[in-house]
Structure formats: C-alpha cells, structure tokens
Homo-oligomer: A and B are copies of this chain.
C-alpha cells in the first residue's frame, strides 16, 4: 500500500487538512496517509524542513512526502517533485528543499506542470500536490506531471557551524517539545576537532559550562543540565526532565561554543 505523508502549516482546527485528506481518498482506494506534522508555524520553511529531514529516512522506500508551507505559486515560487534517497518529495520551490537535503542531484528534479481544475490559486496542496502525489502512488512517472530541470541551482540555506582558533561555534536551530535546544553542530564535526577529552561547551545567559558529552539524559541527576548527541547526530543542550530552553535561556538562534584544549 503506498504511503503519503504530510508536512504542513495547515493546523488541525480548520477544514483545510481534512479537504486534503478527503481529496486523496477520493482518488485512491488503497492508501495510507501519515501526518508528519501539521503544526508548522505559518510560512516557516526552516521548521518544516528540519522536522521532515529528521524522520523521512525512517519511512519505507517510495514513500511520497508532501511539503506544504508557503506554497502559493508565483513566478518566484514554482512547484517541484523530486526523487531522492529512494523517496518522493512534492512541494514549493521556495528554499525548503535546499534546507531539507545536503545535496540534490539535478537529474531527479521535475517542475510540476499540472493544470488545476479550479481557478482557486491559494490552495496548491489540494489542487496541485495531491493530484501529483496520487499520480505517483498509482505508479505514474514524474515525466508525465512535470518538466525535468537540468540546470537547477540549489542555494544552500542551512546555517553551518564555524571553526576558528580552537573554538567551534554553532547556534540553536530547533527547540523540541521537551525544551531541548538542538544546535547545528554535528557529531562528525565535534569528533573531527576534538583532540582530547578536554573541552568546554559554553552557552546561555550566564555563560553556562558543560565539560562532557552524556550518552543518555539520565547520566545526570534530575534538573541537571547536559550535552548530548541525539538520533539526528546534532549536539543538543538539555536538562534531565526539565526544559533547557526556558531554564537556560536557550531560544532559537542562541550561540553555543565549544572550546577545545
């Protein structure tokens, strides 16, 4: 059974999300729809990309992922379908895919040319993305619904950490439901620059310090701060059973520094 996932800012209170699902069931008898999240902040493509980036690889081969944030069509914002890492992605060409992937092979990108059946141009997920996804779910090819793009430039929009004079500097790029502050410092970078076990992680209002990496939250007592690499291999600052974002002042874009000795 084909799978279609949804990553949107539609919310769960209005009729919009239900319309999308109704349209899918209207076109396909045998389909599973999975909500990645519909609680993306309106127009926040960074948040949408971060959430989907951290879970899409857990889905079966050939899963079809619809991303719908800021997707109204315009000369500057066309619609794409991409086949990459054995999965399909459908969404707007507004930078969300540059945030989602580290590299996109140009021969896998199609610009959608589906003709809408309605003159309503404000509901692209329903009128463009759903027909595209259902076409793919029925076994159709991308060539039928789009024009291949050969010369696409993907602007890299993700903020990278910076290394200078033995200091690795990153920022908080996401705060999760538990208040964990997740940075853009990868485990690979950390291991690359680390020469010994002598390092200090510095962050927050009061220049808080952590001098070791925990393997699990419970490595420290309840209410104590810790640094840990999560499943996404990004450094996060957390508090065992507490909210690091509030208690340590670690909101989005706060700087985290690692001084290596």
Contact size range, A: 35 or more
* Residue among B11, B19, B58 making CB contact with A22, cutoff 8 Å: B58
* Residue among B29, B54, B177 making CB contact with A1, cutoff 8 Å: B29
A103 beta carbon closer than 8 Å to chain B: no
State whether B10 touches A177 (Cβ < 8 A): yes
- How many Å lie between the Cα of A26 and that of B63 in the bound state? 10
Residues of B within 8 A of A218 (CB): 72, 74, 77
State whether A177 touches B228 (Cβ < 8 A): no
State whether A15 touches B39 (Cβ < 8 A): no
- How many Å lie between the Cα of A112 and that of B10 in the bound state? 35
- How many Å lie between the Cα of A176 and that of B120 in the bound state? 17
Given the known inter-chain contacts A217-B72, A241-B70, please indicate yes or no for A58 contacting B14, CB distance below 8 A: no
Majority secondary structure of chain A interface residues (helix, strand, loop or mixed): loop
In A31-46, which residues have CB < 8 Å from any B CB? 32, 34-39, 42-43
A118 beta carbon closer than 8 Å to chain B: yes
A245 beta carbon closer than 8 Å to chain B: no
- How many Å lie between the Cα of A50 and that of B22 in the bound state? 16
Given the known inter-chain contacts A18-B37, A42-B177, please indicate yes or no for A217 contacting B122, CB distance below 8 A: yes
State whether B18 touches A74 (Cβ < 8 A): no
- How many Å lie between the Cα of A59 and that of B22 in the bound state? 4
Chain B residue with the shortest CB-CB distance to A24: B58
A147 beta carbon closer than 8 Å to chain B: no
Given contacts A18-B58, A121-B215, 14 further A-B contacts (CB under 8 A): A9-B178, A18-B55, A19-B55, A22-B56, A22-B59, A25-B63, A26-B58, A42-B241, A70-B241, A72-B218, A74-B216, A77-B218, A122-B231, A123-B230
